[in-house]
Amino acid sequence: MAKGTVVQKIIDRHYVGGEKVPGSPVSIRIDQTLTQDATGTMAYLELEAMRVPAVKTELSVSYVDHNMMQNGPENRNDHLYLQSVAAAKGVTFSAPGNGICHQVHLERFGAPGKTLLGSDSHTPTGGGIGMMAIGAGGLDVALAMAGKPFRLAYPKVIGVKLTGRLAPWCAAKDVILHLLSILTTKGNVGCVVEYFGPGVASLSVPQRATITNMGAELGVTTSIFPSDEATKRFLEAQGRAECYQELSADADAEYDRVIEIELDRIVPLAACPSSPDQIKPISELAGRKVGQVIIGSCTNSSYRDLAMVAQTLKGRRVPPQVTLAIAPGSRQVLEMLSRNGMLADIIAAGARILETGCGPCIGQGQSPAQDTITVRTFNRNFAGRTGTKGDQAYLVSPETAVAAALTGVFTDPRTLGVAYPEIAEVDHFLINDNMITRAAGADPSVEIIRKPTIGEPPVNGPLPDRIDGTVVIKVGDKITTDHIMPAGIHLKLRSNIPAYAKVAFECFTEPGRPSFAERAAAVRDAGRCGVIVGRDSYGQGSSREHAAICPMYLGVKAVIALAIERIHSANLVNFGILPLFFANAGDYDRIDEGDSVILENTHQQLAPEKTVMARVVKPNGEEWPLELKHRLSAEDIRIILAGGMLNCQ
Ligand code: MIC
Ligand code: SF4
């Protein structure tokens, strides 16, 4: 068991209860929370439903960064609700245009040694500054704002030992892509990645944050760097020296597994369509035609990244067959680039400047043409996430992206023939917090603005003792929450569950067949319960609790899979859906859509045993016993039996 690690030290300082044994549930105190608008609207509605008058954390920040297109009134309705509910409950508010939650949080609020819970899966970006920063569903974040501890499985710690330093044109992004090629996106539930070793000192905080950000794609609980002189310099440059504390693992720290990465040997890499772990060296892709390049997202849009891009573009021209779009991560970055003239170099090279926000990363604009390659500095390339069916999205570093933009083909940036612009660390970032409204306590007199597109969180009844289930859908491996609840053009429906539920599993809808939502509603209306069958690594990717709420709304009571990812599994519990596992992997092949799955004496079966027996009845009457497992704690069982966390408050 990991001893003397940074993770262990932070957990110890925030420990509330539970057994410190890997896999066992422990509760920790949460110092800070963050929400973003696409998950935050529901989180604050839940906070209201729990009748919490004021947040109890040291700091809670509400960001608006995802839903910024304002095509129709929904987005702005959400913004007004978020701004007013923040003022009422004592939450700091970062206005649309101020930047992506993770980038702004790192710049203005993150602090080493603190715990941060965020309703976004890339919250571990904060690990770059030595925070224990964890992504969770909105309801878990609402509970943390209410002062409740957060429950997590006591983690195993994977130590990543870094040695050497990165060569020119080889980037922090390539480090995390390399790690993804080793650990892949599945099988890492319950682990934390902790970086250590002599190579750490060579990486600046923004570079570390790129690595911890995309650590989310590994499916780990979080990733973390020590807090050292580089952290101190970053905080000083942000005018926040008082937040600094040194934090490192003991010399004899024990990790559950150690992976060594020699930074000098890292080469430019890409994650190929359509998973962040399909890694290839750029040299293998070199020469392939690229139609679009986008630089931005919470992974790679820091001042350092964009300054490097600006200096590479300076005096050059993006060829007409390529479009280059750039979305700075925060207003701080954009304002600095505009004041020092680098923005002019970017514009002169032919780049299209996008608003600071998530934008194309979550399918808000810039969908690529069909049958063309899009190269992005983002963290996710799940099929269709760009908004184009059959898309070919490659994830790369800003170094590789700018090389592709200038040449129109995949190009190893080391062969570009341009001197690598070494970007010096910034001594003084430009500090302008005038789009941040800092909370000065709760104010119950504030009127909460609730326009008609904002609904209530749906209510669920207690879990029936006998579940007469019907398999409404059977899906394969690595089903992401983007498959379950698509974003893109549907993102604006996040605060309207009846409307959003209609597009559940939309990518699996076959022409001429009823959709998942129609099938599930028919099962529900016939007095039965819906069951979802998945295979390995079900619920990868985002933290969106809508991937549990919408199925719940449609009458789903159980998900049966070989493995379910951490955040999604917690969201299922929070909304009263049973996460169950096949005891015998072969049973996955025997079960089909339309089969009945019957669970009797469910309440008694759940506790204390971890085995649940069910019966499968095929439409032709054939029947067989199905052995299932669960990993629920006594507290999880209590929540599920009640029909979800909102019924427990
Ligand atoms: C994402 O990158 O998929 C998102 C959009 O940021 C999500 C949150 C959401 O679905 O609103 C995430 O990563 O949790
Ligand atoms: Fe926004 Fe993309 Fe980051 Fe998610 S991954 S928070 S959509 S920039």
Task: List pLDDT tens digits, range 30-39.
Answer: 999 999 999 9
Domain annotation covers residue 438: no
Give the ligand with the smallest distance to the CA of 491.
1
Evaluate: CB of 102 within 6 angstroms of ligand 1: no
Q: Give 38 Cα–ligand 1 centroid separation in angstroms.
A: 8
Distances (CA, A) of 93 to 79, 81, 180: 10, 11, 34
Share of the chain above pLDDT 90, in %: 98
Structural domain count, the chain: 3
Q: Cα(542) to centroid of ligand 1, in Å? A: 4
Look at residues 235, 265, 295 and tell me which one is the last residue of a structural domain.
265
Provide the mean pLDDT of the chain.
97
Burial (0-12, 13-18, 19+ Cβ within 10 Å), 256: middle
Answer with the one of 415, 449, 480 that is the final residue of a domain. 415
Range of the domain at 141: 6-265
Q: Is 121 in the pocket of ligand 1 (CB under 6 A)?
A: yes
The residue whose CA is least distant from atom 9 of ligand 1 is: 544
Q: Burial level of 251, CB count in 10 A (0-12/13-18/19+)?
A: exposed
Question: Is the pLDDT assigned to residue 78 strictly greater than 60?
Answer: yes
Per-residue pLDDT tens for 104-150?
A: 999 999 999 999 999 999 999 999 999 999 999 999 999 999 999 99
Cis ω before 608 (30° cut-off from 0): yes
Q: What pLDDT sits at residue 3?
A: 86
Q: Whose CA is nearest to atom 1 of ligand 1?
A: 542
Q: What is the pLDDT of residue 447?
A: 98
Report which protein residue has its CA nearest ligand 1's atom 7. Answer: 542
For residue 420, the model assigns a pLDDT of 98
- Domain containing residue 344: CATH number: 3.30.499.10
228, 327: one domain: no
User: Does some domain include residue 356?
Assistant: yes
Sheet containing strand 132-135, edge to edge, reads 132-135, 115-118, 32-36, 59-63, 92-94, 436-437
Dihedral of alpha carbons 502, 478, 561, 188, sign? negative
Q: Are residues 232 and 116 in the same domain?
A: yes
451 in any annotated domain? no
pTM of the model: 0.98
Q: Count of alpha carbons within 13 Å of 128, Cβ hemisphere only?
A: 31
Q: How far is the CA of 102 from the centre of ligand 2 (A)?
A: 9
List CB contacts of 78: < 8 A, sequence separation 6 or more. Answer: 37, 41, 64, 67, 453, 454, 492, 494, 495
CATH code of 500's domain: 3.20.19.10
- Ligand 2 neighbours by CB, cut-off 6 Å: 66, 100, 120, 122, 297-298, 358, 361-362, 378-379
Extended beta strands in 327-442, E state: 352-353, 373-376, 392-395, 436-437
Q: How far is the CA of 135 from the centre of ligand 2 (A)?
A: 12
Q: How far apart are CA 117 and CA 131, in angstroms?
A: 10
Q: Which pLDDT does position 1 carry in this prediction?
A: 55
- Give 301 Cα–ligand 2 centroid separation in angstroms: 11
Which residue's CA is the closest to the ligand 1 atom numbered 5? Answer: 362
Q: Which residues contact 117 (CB under 8 A, 6 or more apart)?
A: 30, 32, 33, 34, 123, 133, 134, 136, 140, 141, 144, 150
Do both 77 and 33 map to the same domain? Answer: yes
Does 374 share its domain with 386?
Answer: yes
Query: Stretch 468-496: mean pLDDT, rounded?
Result: 97
382 and 503 in a single domain? The answer is no
Tell me the best of 542, 566, 567 to mutate to test the pocket of ligand 1, counting ligand atoms within 8 Å of each CB and taking the most: 542
251 & 299 share domain: no
Q: Which ligand is nearest to the CA of 216?
A: 1
Q: Is 452 exposed, middle or buried (0-12, 13-18, 19+ CB in 10 A)?
A: exposed
Atom of ligand 2 nearest to the CA of 38: 7
**461 within domain boundaries:** no
- Ligand 1 atom nearest to 36, measured from its CA: 11
Give the tens place of pLDDT for each residue, 218-261: 999 999 999 999 999 999 999 999 999 999 999 999 999 999 99
Among the listed residues 202, 35, 212, 199, the one whose alpha carbon sits nearest the alpha carbon of residue 130: 212
Q: Are residues 276 and 261 in the same domain?
A: no
Last residue of a domain, one of 355, 384, 415: 415
Q: What is the spatial distance between Cα 334 and Cα 382, in angstroms, rounded to a whole number?
A: 28
Instruction: Evaluate whether residue 455 is within a structural domain.
Output: no
Note whether residue 450 is domain-resident: no
Say if residues 476 and 593 touch (Cβ distance below 8 Å).
Answer: no
pLDDT value of position 155:
98
Please check whether residues 247 and 280 belong to one and the same domain: no
The mean pLDDT of 82-107, rounded to a whole number, is 98
120 in ligand 1 pocket by Cβ < 6 Å? yes
Do 184 and 302 belong to one domain?
A: no
Distance 127 CA to ligand 1 centre (A): 18
Given a cut of 80, whether residue 2 has pLDDT beyond it is no
Average pLDDT over residues 520-549: 97
pLDDT tens digits for range 154-197: 999 999 999 999 999 999 999 999 999 999 999 999 999 999 99
Question: Does 38 sit in the ligand 1 pocket, CB within 6 Å?
Answer: yes
H or E, element range at 196: strand 191-196
Domain membership of residue 420 (yes or no) is no
Q: Measured from the CA of 102, which atom of ligand 2 is nearest?
A: 6
Q: Are residues 616 and 473 in the same domain?
A: yes
Cβ–Cβ under 8 Å, residues 403 and 175: no
Candidate of 121, 298, 361, 382 to mutate for ligand 1, largest count of ligand atoms within 8 Å of Cβ: 121
Say yes or no: 392 and 489 in one domain. Answer: no
Residues 284 and 346 in one domain: yes
- Residue 377 pLDDT > 80, yes or no? yes
The reply to whether 379 falls in a domain is yes
Question: So what's the pLDDT on residue 180?
Answer: 98
